[in-house]
Amino acid sequence: MSKNLIIVESPAKARTIQKFAPKNFLVKASMGHIRDLPKTRLGVDVENEFAPHYVVIKGKAPIIKELKLAVKAAKEVFLAPDPDREGEAIAWHLAALVDQGRAIHRIYLHEITKPALSAALASPSEIDINKVNAQQARRILDRLVGYKLSPLLWAKVTGGLSAGRVQSVAVRLICEREREILAFVPEEYWTLAARLFKDSPEVAFDAMLVQKNQEKIKITNEEQARTAERDLASASYAVREVTRKEQKKNPAPPFITSTLQQEASRRLGFRVSKTMQIAQQLYEGLDVGSEGTVGLISYMRTDSTRISEAARAEALEFIEGRFGSEYQGPPRKYKSRPGAQEAHEAIRPTSVLRDPEEIKNLLTRDQYRLYRLIWERFLASQMASCILNIETADISAGEYLLRASGTSVKFPGFTRVYEEAKDEEQTNGDKVLPPLEAGDSLSLLNLDLKQKFTQPPPRYNEATLVKTLEEKGIGRPSTYAPIVETILKREYVKILEKRFFPTELGFVVTDLLIKHFQDIVNPDFTAEMEEKLDQIEEGHVNWVSVLRDFYGPFSRVLADAETQVEKVVLEPEMTDEVCPKCGKPMVIKKGRFGKFLACSGYPECRSTKPFLKEVGLPCPNEGCTGQVIERRGKKAKFYGCSRYPECTFSSWDKPTDKKCARCGKVMVLRATRGGKFYLACIDRECGKGATVKPEEAGQEVQAPQEG
């Protein structure tokens, strides 16, 4: 009997769906995209309506063959890649390559659950060609910029560089922020607070100086500060006026992609890429015990705050049962960004009944932490508002006015579950005041005079960079993580203490692009292109005309730049290494296969050495005094000893500072076939008993990157 076939892009997603799909359905995975533009050439016919030339991705031929056989044996075919532009494009390419004359349908799974699958199979649709064209337009735009502009950067700056519509704007933002910081001139100012009490010093409170002679006071030097301090030290204090009011505080909306990335960065310290990796696992499905494998969250690439009525009803019932009916929130219409795709829901748990604490032991530490964050945010968004009592006291002291404020919670509402984290530069100084009434006399306990200086704007961290990109309409939910990884990989920026710092290369490339390719690094232009891509998806704009309007001016500017841009000479990075041939300092240079050390006396001395990056750990071999360093093989990096060839230690697995509890040898970070990482004894003969999870070893570990 012929089975119906469902094709998804992910093996994990396929395994989850297969477990609850009807018995007459087979689920297969395409392993992501199966066709793309060629890597070695432009692949776009700019003279023929920008026709793309797609080729089968290397290594995908066996998968396509397998899918064709499955399609041939199937009764009907249902294409179920992710419900976004990339997923639509995957479905379109699949339909073109595996068509065997069978009925092919498109279904959308906004969550990987049995009810969602049943609903999708009951109402299949066709591939949305407008969404496909929007993806093609983005892909071709990026290809035109990358393949036309990057060779110019190679010729005029150095090899291995790239430019892009979105990544170049992100680097510009980081460079401009750094220049703001460098140009910033601090301004002196002073604050003066009085520590006051009414009946007992044990219930003293702080009041800030705000006015003098009924005008706002600004103290800019020590002389003014000391004068005010002397006056207040001898003044009599009395409450002039007390105002009290209630303030309603509403919960934040459910997560969209960008807000999830920001909040996970602030609360959990996750990199943007890590957030998306773990969210993908939660979406595609995990084993949660008696239920089996099920998707725990809805689709995680979305810019809509909408939720379904069924999800809201389930949440309200849960809230009533756990907290009481007074905690149930009213229906709220959260505002999505202009152009948000309302067909998608916000990121939410597929069932609020799956309490994070009840499935904690079935998830990894990071899966649990991110799931709990999503669960709490969604639940809070459906709860009643928090009601605050706000109290402000104006206090007279001769010709001066001081102000004290306090906040108390009248009704906690959603804060029983969750409150949005603050950025580092935001502070919350709310305190509770003692009972005060107009006319009350107050006593001075002490004065707190502080000299301060205005601060420059903070450097971007991943959360604030994503927030800025979103606010400016640059990029889309699925692009933020790869943007960050690309600009780090190209060494346009580096991260120090979780903040972005532009490199010299970042400044040089940004300045070159601003001078000769203003549109490419113009935030407004980039945002306008994103809007046009949205209009293509909505069927309002022809995708070829968008490409034509962009490429005409771009190609003319590119032609001019090839003759006008002068060669940029980057200052080499000096090192403490000494040339073994001539004794001059060695510098770090970048070649085709990465960084290497070269003599600063080049071309007279052509001596070179490998660039060895220390990991910060001693060599694991007993008696060796060397350090563990990263080395580079033909296909990937590995770890070896700095004293090679005297010491021959080498390992594909990254050594750590942990010791095996069984044999005392070094623990290494090792990968499973599924791409997950864990700590294990470097001695494979030691046995599985020594294997522990990174979190159980008390160490946050970064997965090693492919070379």
Residue 242: phi and psi, rounded to 5, are: -125, 125
Helix or strand (DSSP H, E) at 390: strand 386-397
Helix or strand (DSSP H, E) at 671: strand 666-671
Q: Which two tokens stand for residue 449?
A: 């005079």
Q: Beta strand pairing status for 103-106 and 76-79? A: parallel
Helix or strand (DSSP H, E) at 408: strand 400-411
What SS3 class is residue 2?
coil
Give which of 412, 422, 417 is closest to 381, Cα–Cα.
417
The CA-based diameter of the chain, rounded to the nearest angstrom, is 97
Q: Which two tokens stand for residue 262?
A: 């920001």
Q: Which of 299, 327, 460, 551 is catalytic?
A: 299
Taking 3-state DSSP, the helix, strand and coil percentages for the chain, each rounded to the nearest 5, stand at 35, 25, 40
CA distances from residue 623 to 618, 619, 620, 631 in whole angstroms, order as listed: 10, 9, 9, 21
The whole-angstrom separation of Cα 549 and Cα 418 is 47
Helices (H), 293-448: 309-323, 365-381
Asked if residues 668 and 684 have their Cβ atoms less than 8 Å apart, the reply is no
Asked if residues 240 and 436 have their Cβ atoms less than 8 Å apart, the reply is no
Asked if residues 527 and 473 have their Cβ atoms less than 8 Å apart, the reply is yes
The string over 309-336, giving b where at least 16 C-beta atoms fall within 10 Å of a residue's C-beta and e elsewhere, is eebbebbbebbeeebeeebbbeeeebeb
CA 148 to chain centre: 28
Residue 334 bears catalytic tag: no
Q: What burial class does residue 109 get, using C-beta atoms within 10 Å of its C-beta: 0-12 exposed, 13-18 middle, 19+ buried?
A: buried
The string over 117-143, giving b where at least 16 C-beta atoms fall within 10 Å of a residue's C-beta and e elsewhere, is beebbeebeebbebbbbbbbbbbbbbb
Active site residues: 299
